[in-house]
Amino acid sequence: MENLNRIKGALADAGRTNKWLAEQIGRDPVTVSKWCTNSSQPDLQTLAKVAELLCIDIRELLVSTARNPQL
């Protein structure tokens, strides 16, 4: 599956773990692990909550689809 999110990288940047995120949002750690490996994706409301918890803009959790990311 194509990478659509960068939750794993954002957690690493924040010094947080999958387990921490799962506890904060009340989800199973296996679910969070699937998000981090991009084998499944969170819904937009959950993605917004993740961004809020990590104190980042939601756009930082998404992989750009632009052909030329410089634009």
Please report, as a single letter, which amino acid is at residue 2: E
The confidence score (pLDDT) of residue 64 equals 85
| Beta partners for residue 5, in sequence order | 62
Q: Look at the chain and count its residues.
A: 71
pLDDT of residue 5: 95
pLDDT at residue number 14: 97
Domains of the chain and any CATH numbers: 7-58 (1.10.260.40)
With a cut of 70, which residues of the chain have pLDDT below it?
1, 68-71
Residue 68, pLDDT score: 64
Q: What is the pLDDT of residue 20?
A: 98
- What percent of the chain clears pLDDT 90, i.e. is strictly above it? 83
